[in-house]
Chains A and B, each alone.
Chain A
C-alpha cells in the first residue's frame, strides 16, 4: 500500500534528478584505474548510459566474459537529462539509449556517430517492422533496444467494462476523480489529436486548440497529471485509470492481478528506445561490439526476461517463454498496433507550442 514505491524505469530516479535540478556535468571517465588495451586497440572499457532497471541481471558480466571489456553503466531518468548531459560535449559515454524522438533530436544536433552495419551482423535478428523506421531511415544511427506503446492501465474491479477508448480518460466523467493523465506535453497533445481522429504528426493548430479545450473541460474529472509513475499510482489505489506505457504496467501486473492494460481502439503512440553511439565516444569499436552483443538472440532474451518490455528482436523473441510471447499487454493485438504511429520531433517551435498549450491546460 503506502510504501509501494518499487523502482521502475523512470520513477524515483526521476524525482531524485529533479531534486538535484536535473543537470550535472560530471565526467564519467573519472579516475578509475586504466584497463589494458584490447586487440582492437581500444582500452577494455565501455561507458554505457542507460535507464534504470533496464538491463539483464548478468548482461554486463556476460559481455565482459566474452570480450574482456568492462562495462560501467550510469543511469539517467529522462531523455532530457540524457540530452542535457551530452549537448555540452560527450563526457565519455560510448553507448546511450535515447527514445526515438530523441534519436531525431540527437541526429539533428549532430551528436550521433553513424553506425557501421558490417560490425553489427546481429541486426539481421530484428523484426522487419524495426529495420527501417521513419525516425531513422536505414538505421544509420540507432539500433532498437525495446519498444513501448502508450495505453490505459486500469484496475479491473473498478471499471464497468474494458476502457478501450481514450474517451474514458480524456472526454468523459464516468470515472470522475479516478483518472491519471500523462503530463508529458507532446504525448498529451498528440494522443488528444489521435482521439479526435488525427495523426500524431503534423497536427493542425485548430486541432491543438480543440485538444486543449477538451483537456480543460476534462480537468474536474482528472485526479492527477503524472510523470510516468502511473503504474505506482494505479497500484497504490490513487487512480483507477491511467495513461501509461505497456511495459510499466506489465511489471506491476506481476504483483497485482487486478491490474490490466489496453491500447485504445483509436490507436496510440509507439516509442522505441534505441542503442546509439554518441559523437566523441572514446571507444567506438567496443560500442559496436556491445550493440551487436545485445542484438544476439540469447543475450537479448536474457534482458527481456528481466525487464518485460516488448522486444524488437525476432530471434530473441523465439527464445522467450510463452507467458511473455502471448502476453497481450506486452504485445497488444496486431489490429490495434496497426493504428499506432511513431511521433516525430517537429522542431523547437513545435515543442514550445506544445509546452505552452499544456501550461494553459494546467493553469486553467
Chain B
C-alpha cells in the first residue's frame, strides 16, 4: 500500500483534489463560519458582529443548558445500550446465516434508509398514537377477550388506550428504531471477521455456550461494539426530529434548543456556541475511544 502510494503520488493527488475541495468548501468552511459566530453577537436583526466575545459560551454553560445536555446524553446512552442489546443477537444471526440468507438479512437492515427519516417518524406516530395501530389492535383483542369472558359472567372493563406517544418512552423507542442499523452493521463487520475456529476450540475445550460468548465472542467484537456505540451515541445526542415529533412536554433535547436559536429565537451566536459545546464533547468521546483502542492494541502487540 505504502509502495503504491509512493509510486503513484500524482494519481492519488489528482483523485484526492475533488473530495478534499468538497470537504473544505462544504464542511470545514461553513463549520469555521459557525465557529466564528459563536464568538459574536447580534448587532441587528440581520447582522452578526464577530468580536471575540465569550459571552455565548458563558451563557451556554448555565445549569439550565448543561442540564439539557446531560439529559440528551442520558437519552443517547440509553438508546445505545438498548441498540446493543437488540443489535448483538441480530448481528450474530446475520454472521452465522447462510450466504444467501445473509444477503437478504443485510438488505433488510439497510431497507429503512430507502425512506426519508421524517416519513419513517410520521409512520411511527401513526403506529403509536392514541388511536394508532397498536392501540387499535390491542382494543380489538381486548374487546374479543371481554366478550369471551362475558360468557362466564366476568366481562372486562372498557379498554384504556396506552400512552405510547408524546413521552420519553416514545423518544427512546424512536431513537432505537432509527439508530439500530448503525449498531448492527459495525457489529456484523467485527463478528464476520471473527475466526470461527476460536469458538469451536472454546466449545471443544469445555467452555459452555454462555462462557464462550462472554469470554471469546464479546472480547473479539469489542472494536465493533465501540464503533457501533459511537455511531449510535453521537447522532442520538444531537437528535432533534425524533424528540420534536415523538416527545412529550418533558422530552426537550439539546438539538431542539439549538434549532430554535437558528430559527424563532434568531440568536445564531448562542446557537453556534451551544453546537460547539456539544462538538467539543463529541471530540472528547472520540479521543477516549482512540486511547482505549490504542491501549488494547499495545497490550496485544
Contacts and interface: CB of A to CB of B under 8 A. Distances in A.
Contacts of B267: 348, 351-352, 355
Given A2-B133, A348-B45, A355 B262 contact: no
A178 to B, nearest CB: 10
Nearest to A219: B249
Interface in B34-59: 42, 44-46
For B241, B250, B264, the residue with the greatest tally of chain A CB atoms inside 10 Å of its CB is B264
A352 B285 CA distance: 31
B249 A348 contact: no
B241 A19 contact: yes
A352 B249 contact: no
B265 interface: yes
Contacts of B42: 348
Interface in A311-364: 348, 351-352, 354-356, 359-360, 362-364
Interface stretch (A146-154, A195-203, A221-229, A283-291): A221-229
Nearest to B68: A363
Contacts of B200: none
A236 B65 CA distance: 34
A237 interface: yes
B45 A87 contact: yes
Contacts of B65: 359
Contacts of A351: 264-267
Contact of B118 (A15, A111, A223, A354): A15
For B71, B118, B245, the residue with the greatest tally of chain A CB atoms inside 10 Å of its CB is B118
Nearest to B42: A348
Given A238-B130, A238-B165, A363 B260 contact: no
Given A2-B126, A224-B166, A363-B67, A18 B266 contact: no
B252 A2 contact: no
Contact residues on A (Cβ < 8 Å of other chain), bracket: 35 or more
For B46, B249, B256, the residue with the greatest tally of chain A CB atoms inside 10 Å of its CB is B249
B261 interface: yes
Nearest to B134: A2
Interface string A184-207: 110000000000000000000000
A359 B249 contact: no
Contacts of A356: 64
Contacts of A87: 45-46
For A16, A185, A237, the residue with the greatest tally of chain B CB atoms inside 10 Å of its CB is A237
Given A238-B165, A356-B64, A109 B127 contact: no
A80 B263 contact: yes
A1 B44 contact: no
A18 B132 CA distance: 24
Interface string A7-50: 00000100110110011000000000000000000000000000
A69 B296 CA distance: 71
A28 B238 CA distance: 31
B262 A22 contact: yes
A223 B136 contact: no
A109 B131 contact: no
Contacts of B64: 356, 359-360, 363
Interface string B193-215: 00000000000000000000000
B117 A19 contact: yes
Contacts of B106: none
28 contacts: A1-B136, A2-B126, A5-B126, A15-B118, A15-B241, A18-B118, A19-B118, A22-B262, A84-B263, A108-B45, A184-B264, A185-B265, A224-B249, A227-B244, A236-B129, A236-B130, A237-B129, A237-B131, A238-B129, A238-B130, A238-B131, A238-B165, A238-B166, A351-B264, A351-B266, A355-B261, A356-B64, A362-B256
Given A2-B129, A87-B45, A352-B270, 7 more contacts: A2-B136, A12-B122, A224-B166, A224-B248, A351-B265, A363-B71, A363-B250
